[in-house]
């Protein structure tokens, strides 16, 4: 899934000093004049204060990017002012100005969080260089914070769409285990969102500010994969021209995502087992081991337990990987998620393409709700993207959908159970999705009745509701 990169546009603001507010504090008038004339000569907005107290007042009332203050003021000392400024505005930058011979206190000020210091007397350029450098750091701090927030937003579990009971239960478990160190195995058919879930878990864990390293275990030859994972030392094989760190080391402090772990070569299964047991790795050709600090999440689109039974996957490795197993159900088993996913993808591609296709015709919705979706969410996403490219109005209509959805065989649900056939053109997405959830309930009830050979008491038990609720539901759904 590609995301729009944020437009930070730092270049633009770098050349434009006039939006930057600086508070210069000194109890000597001529110093105040120097600050003002130097800083205003390159267009900074300058405010001044001739005492620590008036500086603090100004900081309470206004927003500044930078404070330049003398270390020795008569009322409040520069360090106190520094602390107060950072308390009021955690992102603010502070430059301390010290007199000759007080370098030691300047160093103290740096330890207390000042961003730079200059000593008196100073040249015009010295002041400007210090100010520029400090503001650059300020910008980077803000960008970092922005990017972190951005990533969290992108991969927060709340951005994984799904309102079905199974998905909600899955999200709750994922949230719970995210913060533990437990090794997690994610299983699900292709396109169900395994990688997205792995990312969401990493960004909801205490390791979120450390790397998330992904490797597809089925995508490369044995030797290459081995060296990718564990690293090698120079000369350990032809082509090993220099020492190379493996991904387990690259992911230090963070998470490694072993995708398609079911595909991993037999010899590597044993190496991986050792990593999980010993929490250390041995780079190829090395005779010493390296401790690793990595959280391991793996994913597989086949049922690993079955692979174990068939003797294709080590049982001991399976148990180590599957401390916690998260199973993402195929889309066809949670059709009530479809309307919300469609809405999510419409918004996503509208944002990316600067378009405003926000409606879907009832016929198109009906077709999408009843399709088989062997490719799961990825397939749905592709279908929506394609339809949006082809659309020449604000509405997705059936003619924009691929042939197999239009004319293809409906899935195993037979026609009278297809449930939702939306007929009213004016339904909102919310109404459509409540219809969809009614259709799913209807289907579940029919299945339960079938299993219980029409016995309502048994059917109610199967559904986990009372017989009375079953009657009410059936009545509400007009099922007789
Ligand atoms: N619940 C969801 N909400 C929003 N987007 C989703 C959801 N599930 C999957 N997607 C999107 O569907 C696409 C496929 O997801 P992902 O790559 O995580 O699947 P996968 O299970 O790893 O597939 P594969 O087994 O083929 O590698 C991605 O673009 C992903 O962002
Ligand atoms: Mg994947």
Residue 45: give its domain's CATH number. 3.40.50.2300
* Confidence at residue 126, expressed as pLDDT on a 0 to 100 scale: 94
The answer to whether position 1 is within a domain reads: no
**CB distance 378 to ligand 1 below 6 Å:** yes
* Confidence at residue 219, expressed as pLDDT on a 0 to 100 scale: 85
Residues 287 and 407 in one domain: no
End residue of a domain, out of 329, 349, 379: 329
The rounded Cα 395 to chain-centroid distance in angstroms is 30
End residue of a domain, out of 284, 303, 329: 329
208 is in which domain, residue-wise? Answer: 157-329
**CB distance 370 to ligand 1 below 6 Å:** no
**CB distance 231 to ligand 1 below 6 Å:** no
Residues 128 and 273 in one domain: no
Residues 317 and 355 in one domain: no
Give the residues of the chain that fall short of pLDDT 70.
1-15, 100-101, 145-146, 148-156, 158, 408-432, 480
* Confidence at residue 1, expressed as pLDDT on a 0 to 100 scale: 32
Rounded Cα gap, residues 307 and 295, in angstroms: 24
**CB distance 164 to ligand 1 below 6 Å:** no
Which ligand has the minimum distance to the alpha carbon of residue 195? 1
* Confidence at residue 368, expressed as pLDDT on a 0 to 100 scale: 95
Mutate to test the pocket of ligand 1, among 155, 191, 200, 382 (most ligand atoms within 8 A of CB): 191
* Confidence at residue 448, expressed as pLDDT on a 0 to 100 scale: 83
Q: Where residue 448 sits, what CATH number does that domain have? A: 1.10.8.60
* Confidence at residue 148, expressed as pLDDT on a 0 to 100 scale: 66
* Confidence at residue 60, expressed as pLDDT on a 0 to 100 scale: 86
Which ligand has the minimum distance to the alpha carbon of residue 328? 1
Residue nearest (by alpha carbon) to ligand 1 atom 31: 1
For ligand 1, what atom is nearest to the CA of residue 161? 3
pLDDT 10s digits, 132-180 = 999 988 888 777 766 766 665 555 576 789 989 999 999 999 999 998 9
Q: How far is the CA of 192 from the centre of ligand 1 (A)?
A: 5
Rounded Cα gap, residues 247 and 239, in angstroms: 18
Residues 342 and 323 in one domain: no
**CB distance 191 to ligand 1 below 6 Å:** yes
| Domain total in the chain | 3
* Confidence at residue 8, expressed as pLDDT on a 0 to 100 scale: 35
* Confidence at residue 155, expressed as pLDDT on a 0 to 100 scale: 56
Q: How far is the CA of 194 from the centre of ligand 1 (A)?
A: 6
**CB distance 195 to ligand 1 below 6 Å:** yes
* Confidence at residue 240, expressed as pLDDT on a 0 to 100 scale: 78
* Confidence at residue 279, expressed as pLDDT on a 0 to 100 scale: 93
**CB distance 190 to ligand 1 below 6 Å:** yes
pLDDT 10s digits, 174-214 = 999 998 999 999 999 999 999 999 999 999 999 988 889 99
Residue nearest (by alpha carbon) to ligand 1 atom 6: 193
**CB distance 196 to ligand 1 below 6 Å:** yes
Rounded Cα gap, residues 98 and 103, in angstroms: 7
**CB distance 214 to ligand 1 below 6 Å:** no
End residue of a domain, out of 329, 362, 379: 329
- Judged by phi (left if over 0) then psi (alpha if -120 to 50, else beta), residue 202 lies in alpha
Residues 193 and 136 in one domain: no
Residues 28 and 125 in one domain: yes
Whole-angstrom CA distances from 128 to 30, 78, 198, 384 are 18, 20, 46, 53
Rounded Cα gap, residues 128 and 238, in angstroms: 54
Residues 274 and 366 in one domain: no
Rounded Cα gap, residues 283 and 248, in angstroms: 10
Residues 95 and 164 in one domain: no
The answer to whether position 222 is within a domain reads: yes
Which phi and psi angles does 418 have, rounded to 5°? -55, -15
């Amino acid at each position: 899934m590609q995301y729009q990169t944020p437009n930070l546009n730092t270049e633009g603001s770098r050349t434009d000093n006039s939006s930057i507010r600086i508070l210069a504090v000194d109890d000597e008038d001529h110093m105040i004049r120097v600050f003002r004339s130097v800083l205003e000569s390159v267009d900074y907005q300058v405010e001044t204060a001739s005492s620590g107290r008036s500086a603090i007042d100004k900081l309470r009332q206004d927003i500044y990017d930078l404070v330049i203050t003398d270390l020795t003021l008569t009322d409040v000392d520069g360090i106190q002012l520094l602390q107060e400024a950072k308390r009021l505005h955690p992102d603010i930058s502070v430059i301390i100005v010290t007199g000759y011979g007080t370098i030691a206190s300047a160093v103290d000020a740096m330890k207390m969080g000042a961003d730079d210091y200059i000593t008196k007397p100073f040249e015009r350029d010295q002041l400007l260089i210090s100010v520029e450098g400090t503001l650059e750091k300020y910008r980077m701090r803000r960008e970092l914070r922005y990017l972190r927030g951005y990533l969290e937003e992108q991969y927060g579990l709340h951005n994984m769409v799904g309102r079905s009971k199974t998905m909600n239960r899955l999200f709750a478990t994922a949230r719970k285990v995210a913060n533990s160190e437990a090794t997690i195995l994610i299983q699900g058919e292709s396109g169900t969102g395994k990688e997205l879930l792995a990312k969401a878990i990493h960004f909801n864990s205490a390791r979120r500010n450390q790397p998330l390293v992904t490797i597809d275990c089925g995508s490369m030859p044995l030797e290459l994969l081995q060296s990718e994972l564990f690293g090698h030392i120079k000369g350990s094989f032809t082509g090993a021209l220099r020492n190379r760190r493996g991904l387990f080391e690259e992911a230090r402090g963070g998470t490694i995502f072993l995708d398609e772990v079911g595909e991993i070569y037999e010899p590597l299964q044993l190496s991986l087992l050792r990593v999980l047991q010993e929490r250390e790795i041995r780079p190829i050709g090395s005779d010493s081991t390296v401790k690793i600090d990595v959280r391991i999440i793996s994913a597989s689109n086949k049922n690993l337990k079955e692979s174990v039974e068939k003797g294709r996957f080590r049982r001991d490795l399976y148990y180590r990987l599957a401390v916690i197993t998260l199973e993402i159900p195929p889309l066809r088993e949670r059709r009530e998620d479809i309307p919300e996913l469609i809405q999510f993808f419409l918004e996503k591609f509208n944002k990316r393409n600067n378009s405003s296709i926000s409606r879907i015709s009832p016929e198109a919705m009906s077709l999408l709700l009843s399709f088989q979706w062997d490719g799961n969410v990825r397939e749905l996403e592709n279908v929506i993207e394609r339809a949006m490219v082809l659309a020449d109005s604000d509405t997705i209509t059936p003619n924009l959908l691929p042939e197999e959805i239009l004319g293809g065989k409906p899935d195993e649900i037979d026609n009278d159970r297809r449930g939702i056939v939306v007929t009213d053109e004016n339904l909102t997405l919310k109404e459509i999705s409540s219809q969809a959830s009614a259709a799913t309930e209807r289907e579940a009830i029919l299945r339960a009745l079938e299993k219980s050979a029409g016995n309502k008491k048994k059917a109610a038990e199967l559904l986990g509701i009372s017989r009375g609720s079953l009657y009410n539901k059936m009545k509400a759904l007009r099922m007789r």
